[in-house]
Amino acid sequence: MQGWLFFSDPNFWKPVQIQSLLHGVPLGRMIVLDLFAEADPVFTYTESFYGQPFIWCMLHNFGGNNGFFGTVESINSGPFKAQNFPNSTLVGIGMTPEGIEQNPVIYELMSELAWRKEPVNLAKWVSLYAVRRYGGMHDSLTAAWKLLFSSVYNCTIPHYVNHNHSPLVRRPSFRLRTDLWYDPADLFEAWKLFMEAAPSFMSKETFQYDLVDVTRQVLQVLTASFYQDIADAFGNKKMAELLTAGGVLVYDLFPELDRLLSSNQNFLLGTWLERAQSKALNEKEAQLYDMNARNQITLWGPSGEILDYANKEWGGLIEDYYAQRWGLFVQTLVECLDHGLPFNQSSFNQAVFQIEKGFIYNGRKYPTKPQGDTYEIAYRIFLKYYPQAMKRLLQIVKGSPSSPSSAFP
């Protein structure tokens, strides 16, 4: 039985209620999945599920979202804390993500821990991981992975729920979250180190994947920064700044990101849609499956009932869905400033819904094979946006009044 109910509704599930339910089955005849144990273990406040066997589970991912995330210190120690808990009834270790095919390093680590008798040395482990993953050693890659493991992959905020909230993959508004649990300087430095190693490792599929992924993460972070610029410019009624920030985001950053993702087999919208259609027995069924596959990663419901819950960063989706929404947002803000009108979120939601629904029914065939040279695209992006990233970090360090205070939250 999933133990999620105890976590999700703690106002009802007090110790008496939990014990009553668990003891409704003879001890040993039920196994409870402590579903989100790396962030909110239930066994710790239920005396090891009051004697019922349980499996310590890493949930890690909601919605199958892209985006770097991990709690490496927690997953490295959690299973062993459960094992050594007083009167522990731990019988196994599990992984329960809502979606896979993202953050492979986290699943590699968690899988290995099932065979370990004690926590690993994380710095040493990730150094060896880099060698195993690419088939050779490189000082830049070792340093890059150590940086990632100590920052973006080591969220230590208590009870943190990772569900990619980047403005990139959320419907535009002035209420979007831009907070980070790590210092983006570490991510940018890791990106630079990956680019240094790229000429020697581009023949490795695993390196190609990771170069795309780390560049994608950087552009995701920069999107939040440009979003802050857009919000500040509109709030201060500065049309030139609004046009600049909005223009770079919509007409350069998003197209570059789409080209980057489209260059790798693992980041293609077309693959997702083709797999859905391939299950159909006729053309009508294929259209139905195609519509549902598009809907699930966007609106998830006829009217956006679970909007962007299963957001993805894929080639084709950036261009025809996310970029279109942000283009409308910037256009709407420009018109508001031009006519001296306030921004109306409700009216915008109605307008942007037509874009969202239009994507689901656009009938476009998306590539199922990668296009373009990953290294050339990534290098071009690096030359353009690494200096931009460094400049923004420098502004924060100096506390420059001319820059948004939360250019990188």
Structure confidence at residue 63 (pLDDT): 95
13-25 average pLDDT score: 97
- 315 and 234 Cβ atoms separated by less than 8 Å: no
CA 289 to chain centre: 25
- 268 and 370 Cβ atoms separated by less than 8 Å: yes
Question: What is the maximal distance between C-alpha atoms in the chain?
Answer: 70
pLDDT band at 162 (very low <50, low <70, confident <90, very high): confident
Structure confidence at residue 118 (pLDDT): 97
Structure confidence at residue 397 (pLDDT): 55
107-121 average pLDDT score: 96
Structure confidence at residue 307 (pLDDT): 98
pLDDT (tens digit, 9 = 90+) per residue, 305-353?
A: 999 999 999 999 999 999 999 999 999 999 999 999 999 999 999 999 9
What number of residues does the chain have?
Answer: 409
Structure confidence at residue 408 (pLDDT): 46
Which residue type sits at 6?
Answer: F
pLDDT (tens digit, 9 = 90+) per residue, 183-234?
A: 999 999 999 999 999 999 999 999 999 999 999 999 999 999 999 999 999 9
Is 90 exceeded by the pLDDT of residue 405? no
% of the chain surpassing 90 pLDDT? 94
396-409 average pLDDT score: 43
pLDDT (tens digit, 9 = 90+) per residue, 376-387?
A: 999 999 999 999
Is 90 exceeded by the pLDDT of residue 179? yes
Structure confidence at residue 407 (pLDDT): 42
Sheet holding 90-95, edge to edge: 32-34, 54-58, 90-95
14-23 average pLDDT score: 97
Structure confidence at residue 395 (pLDDT): 73
Neighbours of 94 (CB within 10 A): 17
Structure confidence at residue 371 (pLDDT): 98
Is 60 exceeded by the pLDDT of residue 150? yes
285-304 average pLDDT score: 97
Number of DSSP helices (H) and strands (E) in the chain, helices first:
17, 3
Structure confidence at residue 50 (pLDDT): 98
- E-strand stretches of 342-384: none
Q: Mean pLDDT across the chain, nearest whole number?
A: 95
Nearest to 308 by CA among 179, 159, 173, 163: 163
pLDDT band at 404 (very low <50, low <70, confident <90, very high): very low
